[in-house]
Structure 1
């Protein structure tokens, strides 16, 4: 079959599926903004396209999100049409619609079967909105709810585009209205549990201190970017007490200074520095020297960080669940996580990890300290967490076979079955 992948940051969530289909003998092509020139990646022909139009100035603010997506959708439409004119006709299109690129693909190839990666439907009710009162400062909350609902215009435009859908977790799939949910299969992207393994002999190097090992007390916290959506503010506010009670602990924090989700920090500032400044005066210099901001790190170093972790803290609003949680579990880390809906799929309290109220930093410190004092319990939680990931999220034995079956079902369905 001819299979076309659409993802602005290809391979993204398709990093395992696309090469597997290429290995199976299918002709796989990807359109993406990520590359500047045509290239080959693991059997996939990766083609660039460009955005040639700016967003519209002085637009109604509720339409800005849709405008950016239409701009990308048009650019991808023109690239797809050029591909069609060169003779390429996909039997299947697999696309992430989140940035709008796949909006007009049905117009280019009406007979293609189209599968969409449904990441999130924006809900304007609690807890999807108004979850964190500290940052819920909109002067007109009713109007803000309308703006959030308008963000779903992109999802709704895609309703007649997709024949089948894919979501990585039940929480994410269940944010969608029933018309979407009926066609969504819940299949995670997959964790390579043969690669992400515990390592009793791991050493983690940090300049200026002796290499950390499993004999050390190491508390880890990982975000793509350090921001409130992922509980960075709660974790930072827990540090004064945590460092005081654990004089030998090292705290390793991974994440960038930008914003992946939610509101940006006040102009000229970063969330990272805002909360450093808030807590720094409460922490003596000798304790602060045990806090290490590592920024973004290469994947092999990231794995060693998870392997050396005594306790891994993962916090999130009710939102998309991070791969890093499952990777930490696969590495056998003892998890302390927020008791928010996405986590309730992954963490069975007392067996595969510990859940605490997102806002209760005292409970967070209590649980981290209790685990640091109990190596046998840490080991039991870590082993159960790894077993859980291997049973439900393993790439080779669970997720990739289910993804390949999803592709087979997509190939067998009737194209364009939802509306015109």
Structure 2
């Protein structure tokens, strides 16, 4: 269920996915995107029958929902959220030799994009959150894509010197005064470098005997494929667990957003590793919260972090570089203040929801940044914001 928002009605749709064993591997995504598109179209048709004609339809083209918007509403302003376009080179495919793709020829990469391409053809405008994500799309479409990030709400995500995390099971409270190394991912998996981080932990602990490690994330798989037997957390705990001081390694699982923010606010060094893939909000939120990011030297991260200026960059596969950078950040104390301030400033100047991103989004959507129309009455746009 969606959280209620004043003045907003939610309409849902349902569809039955095709079992993977009933369709060719190259058509898994396309088959279910077509089904999803039909289901979304049925919902749109019902809205039309009820007398609702939208001015703008804004949606993600990757899953099929945008396929039939033009068929139901021929004259609506259609905008696509261009998050990720699959390519054989320079991205996640073939990046990590430890996890080779099940399709060595990469033929499925082209079919992964089929329904997205149909939606792109029908769009009036598109938005990508980063320049790198835009650059992954065919040049034919790039001139129609504006780079506007979703935005970080800096009224909420900001440093808090008084933040603390209490771990009752260990009778432990951690604050900004402690050495705290953080790692966050929606799920703990290779796409976000979990295997690299876990294998580096024994040496990190050896060099930093006072440091505590907070690991946030679930045991599902958001990207890539399952580990086979058990979860990736279980797999790498079994691999390196005997070398760890588990009294200083804390797996928090999935936690409420308020607790997650406190984790970032007390962080000394925040580890963000990723394949060349979609950039996580968590990296920008860590920067905004005052953590020093040690990130992978991969294109999405390099677009934001300049090594030594507003964070630090390491080779994704180099445990040695990761260990040395984390040690440097944790042992530098106030010597990191300039980097921390530059990190916060980067998010404020480029990714602020209210000052930068939202006004640009509203402009693309065709909504005045000064006002919105409701029932024929013009009201300040701020009244429409959460």
Q: TM-score when scaled to structure 2?
A: 0.92
2:378 corresponds to which residue? none
Please state if 1:252 is matched with 2:219. Answer: no
Whether the 8 Å contact between 2:93 and 2:101 is mirrored in structure 1 is no
CA RMSD across the alignment: 1.6
Please state if 1:132 is matched with 2:93. Answer: no
Cα offset, 1:153, TM superposition: 0.7
Please state if 1:112 is matched with 2:70. Answer: no
Which of the numbers 300, 322, 344 marks the counterpart of 1:342? Answer: 300
* Residues 203-248 of structure 1, C-alpha deviations (whole Å, 9 max, x = no match): 1111223311111110000000000000000000000111111111
* Residues 16-65 of structure 1, C-alpha deviations (whole Å, 9 max, x = no match): xxxxxxxxxxxxxxxxxx55xxx852322111222256457521111111
* Residues 173-204 of structure 1, C-alpha deviations (whole Å, 9 max, x = no match): 11000122111100001111121111112111
Cα offset, 1:127, TM superposition: 4.1
CA distance in 2, matches of 1:42, 1:358: 44
1:371 corresponds to which residue? 329
1:69 corresponds to which residue? 33
CA distance in 1, matches of 2:75, 2:279: 34
Cα offset, 1:146, TM superposition: 0.6
Query: Cα 1:263–1:54, aligned 2, differ >3 Å: closer, same or farther?
Result: closer
Query: Cα 1:133–1:246, aligned 2, differ >3 Å: closer, same or farther?
Result: same
Please state if 1:313 is matched with 2:274. Answer: no
Whether the 8 Å contact between 2:181 and 2:214 is mirrored in structure 1 is yes
| 1:239-278 correspondence runs (5 A) | 239-266=201-228, 268-278=229-239
Counterpart secondary structure, 2:29: helix
Which of the numbers 141, 166, 173 marks the counterpart of 1:180? Answer: 141
* Residues 74-130 of structure 1, C-alpha deviations (whole Å, 9 max, x = no match): 100111111111111111111112211111111001011100101010001244321
Please state if 1:406 is matched with 2:353. Answer: no
Counterpart secondary structure, 1:281: helix
Which of the numbers 169, 172, 192 marks the counterpart of 2:153? Answer: 192
Please state if 1:386 is matched with 2:344. Answer: yes
* Residues 331-377 of structure 1, C-alpha deviations (whole Å, 9 max, x = no match): 11111000000011110111100000000011100110111110123
2:104 corresponds to which residue? 141
Whether the 8 Å contact between 1:52 and 1:75 is mirrored in structure 2 is no
**Unpaired segments ≥5 residues, structure 2:** 369-386
CA distance in 2, matches of 1:178, 1:137: 26
2:183 corresponds to which residue? 221
Counterpart secondary structure, 1:355: strand
Counterpart secondary structure, 1:101: coil
1:329 corresponds to which residue? 287
1:202 corresponds to which residue? 163
Counterpart secondary structure, 2:33: helix
Counterpart secondary structure, 1:316: coil
Which of the numbers 311, 314, 320 marks the counterpart of 1:356? Answer: 314
Whether the 8 Å contact between 1:351 and 1:384 is mirrored in structure 2 is yes
**Unpaired segments ≥5 residues, structure 1:** 1-33, 411-420
Query: Cα 1:40–1:297, aligned 2, differ >3 Å: closer, same or farther?
Result: closer
CA distance in 2, matches of 1:332, 1:52: 44
| 1:81-92 correspondence runs (5 A) | 81-92=45-56
Superposition misfits of 4+ residues, deviation over 4 angstroms: 52-57
CA distance in 2, matches of 1:40, 1:331: 27
